[in-house]
Structure 1
Amino acid sequence: MHTVPNIWQLRVFDCVARLENVTKASIALSRTQPAITSCIFALEKILGATLFERNKTGIYPTEVGAAAHIRIKKILAALEDAMQPLSGERTIAPLAMASRITRSQMLALIAIHECHSFRAAAVKLGITEASLQRSARTLESNLGCELYRNTASGIKTTSLGDDLALRFKSIESQSVALVEAIQGFTYPRSKRIALGVMLLDPSMLLVNAMNETRERYPDVRITVLSGTYEQLVNKLLREEIDFIIGVLKKTAHVQELEQLPLYKESYCIVARRGHPLHRKRSITVEDLQRYPWIIPPAGSPRRQAYEHLFSETSLPPALIETYSLSTMRITLADSDMLTVLSWVEVLSERHFGLLSALPFEISCDEPLVGMCRTKGKEMNDVQQYFVDAFSKNAQALSRG
């Protein structure tokens, strides 16, 4: 079941969207600015989307915010129409009256209208009868009119209650549709990034670049797909992704694809914290031979680094062969096994505190990490910003 926003949240959103200013909205709604801001954040959390772009001149709906506003205005208009017959001589505006109504009160009225019994309505909603009666009577009190009547066959809604229940049911359907529509919102291509990353990707650089891009473009939608180089190239050629980030490789599609180098990869030997080799001041190849290894599949740059390391002697036992970084992490943390990781992955592993690099330098060819994209295809501003952020972070880490 979807979490659905309440009427007050929709009203706050509408006011901020119309006035394009939180201060003006807080004055119009007689609330503090923090209360308005908190309400907007709560609505964004429910809908799973950034609804406003904030800058020095004001607060403006994003693409998805504008789409949400169209639906929200219809919901508020329907609520205002529903409250119109109830306002009578009262000075309170219909929409202000509607803002007092909670979703639980709306659902209570709908259930009582359909079930003709407090008990049956409570069972339908999965709540206690006491909770249902509390919601039902509070709604009646807030609206200042009779919504229920006792009959020989049980509790029923009055004619006014019947009309209001049907209106509430329509509004509830529109609210659920709002959530589904926004959560499934298809972003314009200018606000989307779909990137492919090879297995054992440079996750720390990706996360940093994605965070920076979202800071600059709050309504961007970033999709990350992982796979082998061949799988990702096929997706790139079918335009399912915008570009690939990872170790650059020779490709048979030289006429269709171009590769842009970003930085040189280097490798480290990694073990669990507290591994016996961490106590040695100087580590030799013979020391490394005494321990079992986790290695990536044949043909990968890490596998080549591993084989180069022992090119003048026999290979140590390789007990596990995998691309899975999580498998490596868990296995290494509970054993004295060793593996080869990139310097970027070692930096990422510091967050977990389980693994660390051994003081041993691997002398081998350093492969280029970069971006592969369709030849001649221009990147939009959002994609270019992401690539620049990724490259900047890579260069900063390599210097560190």
Structure 2
Amino acid sequence: MLEITGRPPASEGLPLSLRYLRAFYQVCRCGSVSEASKTLRRAQSAVTRAISQLESELEAPLFERSVHGMLPTEFGDALLNRVERAFAYMDTAFREITASTGLGKHAPIYDLHMTERQLNVLVELRSQRHMGTVASVLAISQPAVSLALRNIEQLVGIRLFERTVRGMHPTPAGETLVRHLRLALNEIRIAADELAAIRGVEQGEIRVGALSLGSTDLLPTAVTRLLRKHPGLRVSTTEGPFETLAAALRGGEIDFIIGALRPPKYTEGLSREPLADDEMAIVARSGHPLSLRKRIGFHDLAGAQWVMPHRHTSTRALLESAAAARGAPAPDVALETTDLTIIREVLLESDMITAISPRQLSREISAGMLARLPIALPETLRQIGMLRRENDHPSPGANLLAEEMRAA
């Protein structure tokens, strides 16, 4: 399934119980149930049941049990790696908040020692900015949302959200905490998929941020190939401006971005992987007076009306720069839009022209409905590629989709 969404659901249920994972983590650290029970201050039988329940949920043995203690299996090692990464994100949140505010205390949330509902209240408040909406999303009362936030803020010792006329806005500390919390919960979601992959089962959701140059041919082709081979996987895409998608990627809301690569100064903290080169073309309807000429220059376009993306988008900036370099006037943009359907219909029904990647209108050009005008734009050459978080450990499904992207 390729699901088009405005935003990946932040509040979807975790596949694993946080309480069970804390028991698992302590058994790994202590080497035995008895020592872990002392650290957790829980009965040995309760710790044993937690491990047994976790193994049942994951359909995998997590420990080798012997008279010398409990050692993680291959499955246990994989799960431990994800749990340690989750705790590392929360440790980073604590250090950053303490360093920036000089306040705060090591509250239970930094050990993920909270209910899933409480954690989801923070995550959804950051996204929705309104308590009533959060209550609706999580199917709880608004007073319950308010109480959960108040309890967490009291434990942390710092205000995490401010009430404004425009809704609830995270403080800098709240922004830091929720960003690392998302990344931590993402590791736990991936853990179940990773253990399933060890068993030979590919499952889970891959969340892709799709920019226009990636979503027209590369992504659909890669997703089609992926789901044909691994029907148990699911893919969701989020479309939006680069800045919005980059923030979502850094915050763990999506797994990677596919599209035109921005300059390095805009991708700090992200790794770049070029996949293909792309050069813009000027496109008009088939039979357009300019399409009948063997050769044209920018000055021949002076009387034309254009349909183009809004100002300050990369496509618009490249076109305007190419015109200026040739001493030609700036394009007369009569219609500003990034909607490919509108662009296509306007071109087919008028003498307007556009500058666009030919990938985005490849079917119409191949069918002879639209035509590339005989003018080259070598200075508009761009790289299409993937952006990921630096030092990221993607899910098995995300790695498989990345492989298909490279092949496509």
Q: TM-score, normalised by structure 2?
A: 0.47
Q: Which has the larger radius of gyration?
A: 1
Q: TM-score, normalised by structure 1?
A: 0.48
